[in-house]
Structure 1
């Protein structure tokens, strides 16, 4: 790992020593869950790797959570070890320097977490007090190896931390590179900052992972890939990227001898489940690719995508008692996404089971509505009382009005059932996805 802020490198025996120190500290602490607000930092990564090495289940959380939300999570999940500057009632300071500021629960829980439990992450769409996804250590390792194989990651690759580490996609980038002996540049400022792109050049970054909102930002920045000669691989997941942007970024990378991978994943499958090879993008532009190595895809009678593989979660947790549960799913995940497979096993997604709005008794797939309105640019559709509202980033009143008319005609609905509104910027969750719940409040 390279700390972009200081240029300090931590690798080989030195990295192993730091991780082992963190693991030893956790093994001296009372048994149970470790709860860790996790910023993008070398120390945060070392604590995570230490927990995995020690066999201690760790929950990686957004360090920006409000204090009352964090307090509720502590109450619900009763961690034995809480990392961070402030400890709540019932916790005492820990003398464990390798972990940084830490707090120990004064009373132990009667029920221990399951032996296979390694990692807990918040579901990507959650706000407030999220339920957590229970992942085994084996699932984390299996997904890291599968992604490394699908993307051809080897020891020469260099990837920056362009996504939060408490988000499954961002953590997957870390895992899939470290497991191959590749380099991770720990950069916390984000892709819109000059310091990020300086780090890309200074440390020879070879790949960049992003979600749709970040690719929209890169387009607005008019990033010139020719100025970053080592960057030759883009990966995209975390939601559907507009087809025209997929085509644009794939072409821009091809022009400098690079490549772009489109992927599909969920936190419930540790991270990524499919990868579309760059050389198939031209003949399968609507696809997210076949299953990753070790995984399988099927579609049930309702059109729901089913994923089978060793990276599937053990199940959800909503309280401390759930941490003791074993594997509830047996390697099979009903994704909640709608789609179909072609004759080569390539997946095409068509919507979400629960992304449905009802207008005058007619059910509308909100993902389909977004696709129909994508001519406005970046849009998000939400259901309201007997109507659908489409929010268009930077949309002008005339353009919104024209789009609303075209949508009502295309969907054969009365014009009062479709409303298109402009918004300066769509609200985003910490992982870069659209915050649909925030948009519902704006109605």
Structure 2
């Protein structure tokens, strides 16, 4: 007896239109039978593309600043941010599988056009902020390893579009393979550095305990929100809801339930890996810089210079530079895909990937180049941390629609989010909004 094919939810105003990332939509086959691990393997990949956004160069700057200034205290922020990320990314997978839409398409369909355009504008700002962080991070990585001047490195980063285009021609699995390989290199680099740093593991464990000091100290809150913005990133919500649909998982309800289960497992495991990397950056900064009284290290270049003498091994700075460069390359791939999903979903405008990439790169390169030319290395860390706080401020405008859609049975049908998950997601959304409001109040009070 054939599996029943459920009708698409009828709570949407119009047809979805062209599928998200149409050139790779449902392009990866999913086994209908056989061992569960073989079927699960087909869904391995999107979670790691999402995880890249949780360990990009902007995250490095905020984690280095937090670890060097406050030791292990902000580890709890990385943990809480990661829990928020796991919940929100599971909702992205649910939206994609349950409605057949990515978040941008859902916003375009559900909201009046002026509001949808406003959300599109905010999403583009978030992607630009992400891209600025990637431009600077990749340029610094090129400088640390090959000695390429920062100003030239910023321009060179625009050429990564050719790498992305080549991989996309080979197939989406090749894009995922590149991401996973580079993530492996990053993990190896940090494992060696953490072993050399020999942190106080008792302090590390205590760092995961909550403290009200984070909210009471404006400077700590600023860095905490930077870590939150660098961890739970708006463009990742759009990205995940699009790339989950690269799997050909079928249309029957059992097939879609299975797809949701495996997609959620994929993203959860990948985000736990991202937490390990993020915590490693903060632990490394706390164990090397904070421990020796160097509490103002936020520059990636300064961290690179100081790691050698502090860890007593000449290869340590090189490992740091390699990991940073890998992070920058990874992030450029995912930001391109997110930009494509946002533009096509909100505006129904399809641009060639190379053109989309060059446009976003050009917008990101102008401020990044201006800062590196005018201020040199000293200005890059401030811009990196600022981009992460901007991302945090943009986050609510993606989170609230996501929670609304996945809680609506008319839009999601049988795959509507359970009440406990909706309640948890609402708590996360309100917490993010409250923290951002607190940051704005502190900022205005400080400027007055």
The answer to whether the superposition gives a TM-score over 0.5 is no
* Structure with larger RCO (C-alpha < 8 A, sep 6+): 2
The structure having more radius of gyration, on CA atoms, is 1
Identify, as 1 or 2, the structure richer in helix: 2
